[in-house]
Amino acid sequence: MRLLFLTLTIFLNILCAQAGPVEDFDLRSYSPIKNGLKDLYCEVRLKGLTEKIKKQFVTLKIKQEIFFKLYWIYPGKIDFVVEGLPKGFLELRQNLKNLVASRIDYIIPQELAPKLQSYSLKVKKSSSGTLVIGEDPTNNKAINKLEINFKKDGRLSRYKSYSPLGFQQSKFDYSKQSWSKNKWVLEKVEAKMIQGPQITESTTTVKYENQVGFGFPISVLVETKQYVAAPGKEERKLERKGESEIAFSNYKVNSGTAQKYFRSQE
């Protein structure tokens, strides 16, 4: 067993040495799929959602909590089911699904390399880490330039994107957890987006729990501030601020629950 572990460690080190910084980061980041995830079910709750829907749709007879049931099977078939609404209301259900659909990335992180395949990449190394610059050779993409910074140990630290409409920057904090098998896990994201005079800043904090050997989030807290800046001036006027919290619970991992659900929909 010791010999097998040593052989795997040496093989991984060789792969990381041969890979570029983006591929290296993907190899060293935690992925439940790489650890054997095939079938997943959980419940997703957006704090304050039920009360908000009751206020917006006063004629609806809502007697139960509104929440989501998430079903996922490998390699990426997914569905969110909205619970607590009366039958029908298809447009409202879809709008509610859109509120949480992007949060699947916190449950099952997506690799970075596939997102950069269509960009022309340049790598610049320095004493502080590595900078990867991606440019769109076609000039047809919404995002025409990327700048991605990695620390000396290979962790993603900063991601910048440029488009004709504005600029966005994200700073990342990764750590290793007891269940992450020496892989990096995303804990915090600080983002800033500039579109004309409007500036949006957000801080996302993720908390995890060990679920039968897999690490999954139990909460994602997003705090947001939005400003309007006068052209050519440093003054900023706070327009609005707020926060949203999504809770994940009742995980069922590799139990066949999601597979059973999708078969019932056929």
Beta-bridge mates of residue 69 = 43, 81
- The tens digit of pLDDT for each residue in 19-38 reads 599 999 999 999 999 999 99
d(CA 9, CA 2): 11
Q: Where are the domains of the chain?
A: 2-265
Contact 221, 208 (CB under 8 A): no
Q: Is the pLDDT of residue 200 over 50?
A: yes
Q: Which two tokens stand for residue 96?
A: 């509610």
Reduced to 3 states, what is the DSSP secondary structure of residue 263? helix
d(CA 70, CA 64): 18
Distance of CA 176 to the CA centre of its chain: 17
> How confident is residue 237, by pLDDT bands cut at 50, 70 and 90?
confident
d(CA 54, CA 263): 33
Instruction: Provide the pLDDT for residue 18.
Output: 40
d(CA 208, CA 180): 11
Torsion of CA 193, 215, 211, 81, to 10 degrees: 30
Cβ density class 205-228: b for 16+ within 10 Å, e for less: ebebeebeebbbbebbbbeebbbe
Angle at 99 between CA 93 and CA 101, to 5 degrees: 95
Instruction: Provide the pLDDT for residue 59.
Output: 84
d(CA 116, CA 112): 7
The continuous run of DSSP H or E covering 216 comes out as strand 214-229
- Average confidence (pLDDT) over 236-247: 88
Instruction: Provide the pLDDT for residue 3.
Output: 40
Instruction: Provide the pLDDT for residue 232.
Output: 60
- The tens digit of pLDDT for each residue in 103-120 reads 899 999 999 999 999 999
Q: Is the pLDDT of residue 125 over 90?
A: yes
Instruction: Provide the pLDDT for residue 234.
Output: 63
Contact 148, 22 (CB under 8 A): yes
pTM of the model: 0.87
For residue 112, count CB atoms less than 10 angstroms from its CB and return exposed for 0-12, middle for 13-18, buried for 19 or more: middle
Contact 45, 249 (CB under 8 A): yes
> How confident is residue 2, by pLDDT bands cut at 50, 70 and 90?
very low
Instruction: Provide the pLDDT for residue 19.
Output: 52
Helices of type H across 1-125? 2-18, 21-28, 49-56, 90-101, 104-107
Q: Is the dihedral of CA 124, 160, 117, 142 positive or negative?
A: negative
Instruction: Provide the pLDDT for residue 238.
Output: 74
Q: Is the pLDDT of residue 8 over 70?
A: no
